Amino acid sequence: MKNLLYKELRLVITPGTYFFAACALLLLVPAYPYFVGVSYTVMSFLINFGVARDNQDHEFTAMLPVPRNQIVLAKHLHVFLLEAVTILVAIPAALVSSLLLNPGGNVVGMDANFAFFGFTLLGYAMFNVIFLPKYFKTGYKVGTPLAVGMVAYLGFVLGVELVVNVFPGVKAVIDGLHPATIWPQLLVLFAGLVLYAGGMLWSYRLSVRRFDKVSL
């Protein structure tokens, strides 16, 4: 697994990808729809998976002494790595934003609180379980799987924003930075973590089954 991750880092992930991940720093902006800040990473997969296809990445991996399912594993590690980097960039940005720059809260969207990260993980999970298995149906078509995954992801985060802003009861608990609402927000974060991990596992298994039928 270590070598596969190394392969993704050195040969597949384009340097520009880190710029997309760094867009999570938009959480420092006092009034900004923070879900947008963590969305750019999802778009970077269009570039990386396209570059991988154009450079015969699967064919290269198939020559290595690894079983066929490791091609699928490599791409899941790729996606996990970049989403994790985005979250890791977003966490300190959220702390600085909430504690120093904007303690009064975000006026154009959800605050960068625990629930925000939980929903972000849920959005990523939704994107991953659509994008990856759909991509591994062919092993080379990126556009449609990414578009469908992206629509689902954006639909989800827009839905979250809508629900939070339409229902004051939900807003009072889920939005905001007040310590009194920390437990329900932590619950959302926990649900996000569990569903993200479960989604990755499910996506991996389904992708392996689908990719097994693909001839390179």
Partner 1 sequence: MLKIENLCKTYPSFQLKNVSFELPKGYIMGFIGANGAGKTTTLKSMLNIVKPDSGTVTIFGQNIVGHETALKQRIGFMYGEADYYKHKRVGVVVDVYKRFFAQWDDSAYRGYLARFGLDEKKQISELSSGMKVKLALTLALSHHAELFIFDEPTSGLDPVARAELLDLFHEIVEDGEKSILFSTHITSDLDKCADFIVFIRDGEIIANTTKDDLIAEHVLVSGKKSDLTDELRSRLVGVRPNAFGFTGLMRRKQLRDGDPVVRETPNLEDLMVYYDKGASK
Enumerate binding residues for partner 1 (CB under 8 A). 3, 6-7, 10-11, 55-57, 59-60, 62-68, 212-216
**Is-contact 28 93, C-beta < 8 A?**
yes
Residue 199 vs residues 96, 177, 195, 196: alpha-carbon distances, Å: 30, 28, 6, 5
Q: Cβ 67 to partner 1, closest distance in Å? A: 5
Of 168, 183, 21, nearest to 115 by C-alpha is 183
The residues, ordered by sequence, that sit 6+ positions from 27 with a Cβ below 8 Å of its Cβ are 34, 37, 38, 90, 93, 94, 97, 112
**Alpha helices (H) along the chain:** 2-7, 16-22, 34-37, 40-54, 57-63, 69-96, 114-135, 143-166, 168-174, 182-211
Nearer to partner 1, 55 or 165 (CB): 55
DSSP-assigned states of every residue in 77-115: HHHHHHHHHHHHHHHHHHHHIIIII-TT--SSS--SSHH
Q: Cβ 156 to partner 1, closest distance in Å? A: 35
Q: Cβ 64 to partner 1, closest distance in Å? A: 4
Q: Cβ 48 to partner 1, closest distance in Å? A: 13
Q: Cβ 12 to partner 1, closest distance in Å? A: 8
Q: Cβ 63 to partner 1, closest distance in Å? A: 6
Nearer to partner 1, 7 or 78 (CB): 7
Nearer to partner 1, 166 or 213 (CB): 213
Structure tokens at 196: 């993200």
**Is-contact 91 118, C-beta < 8 A?**
no
Structure tokens at 127: 């994107």
Nearer to partner 1, 62 or 95 (CB): 62
Nearer to partner 1, 142 or 160 (CB): 142
Nearer to partner 1, 107 or 216 (CB): 216
